[in-house]
Structure formats: C-alpha cells, structure tokens
Amino acid sequence: MTDGDAMETLSQATTRLSLAGYVEDYRSHDRRLVCGKCGTSHDPAEMTIDAIVRFEGDSNPDDEAIVYALDAGCGHRGLYISAYGSGATADDIAVVAALPDQAR
C-alpha cells in the first residue's frame, strides 16, 4: 500500500482471502476453533496461520477486528474473524492467546 491508497475494508479482505481458497468459516467455542464445514473442533495452537489482517477504527473501539486465514488439520482452509480490544469476548481472547506466536 502506498500513501494515498484507501485502506482495505473487512469485506474486501474476506473476499480477497476467500478467492485465495480460505472459504470456510471458523468460530470460537469453549476455547477451541470449530470448522463451519465439517464441525471438527481444533486446538488453536495446532492451527496454521497463513495471513493476519487487522482493522482499527479511527475513533470507535467497536470497529477493531482481526481476520485470520487458517489451515486446519481437517483439510479445510478458512477464516476466523474476531473483535479485539474492548469488543472481544472471553472465548475469542482465549482462542487468540492460544494461536501460534505469529498471531500476536
């Protein structure tokens, strides 16, 4: 990105990553990541993170979000989207803390 380029939106980032093959959705549940395709529950520490995109609101902390492009042992690649900062849930905080080091 160069000066003057518009920042990528959450929608644009998810579209870009979906076109790159990250088509499934992952959600946090009981401190684990659950694949939306097959329902397999994964230990976040075992996930492979291929990309991270962070979004920070200019003036509203509720606009803070993070997108992880993940590759899982179940054979499905997908996206995990979480709020961070004051908008993060306890489960999302636990999952993000357990992801491999490159996630932080």
Digit-coded pLDDT (tens) for 11-20: 999 999 999 9
Q: How many domains does the chain have?
A: 1
pLDDT for position 69: 96
In a domain, 37, yes or no: yes
Rounded Cα gap, residues 48 and 73, in angstroms: 9
In a domain, 2, yes or no: no
pTM of the complete model: 0.84
In a domain, 1, yes or no: no
Whether the pLDDT of residue 62 is over 90: the answer is no
pLDDT for position 86: 77
In a domain, 79, yes or no: yes
In a domain, 4, yes or no: no
Q: 103 or 31, which is more confident?
A: 31
Residues ≥6 apart with Cβ < 8 Å to 48 = 70, 71, 72, 100
In a domain, 59, yes or no: yes
In a domain, 5, yes or no: no
Domain ranges, residue 16: 10-103
8 A C-beta contact, residue 29 and residue 41 = yes
- CA nearest to 89, candidates 40, 31, 6, 10: 31
In a domain, 94, yes or no: yes
Q: For residue 14, what are its two tokens?
A: 């998810």
pLDDT for position 55: 85
Chain position carrying tokens 């999952």: 95
Rounded Cα gap, residues 76 and 61, in angstroms: 32
Whether the pLDDT of residue 21 is over 60: the answer is yes
Q: pLDDT averaged over the chain?
A: 85
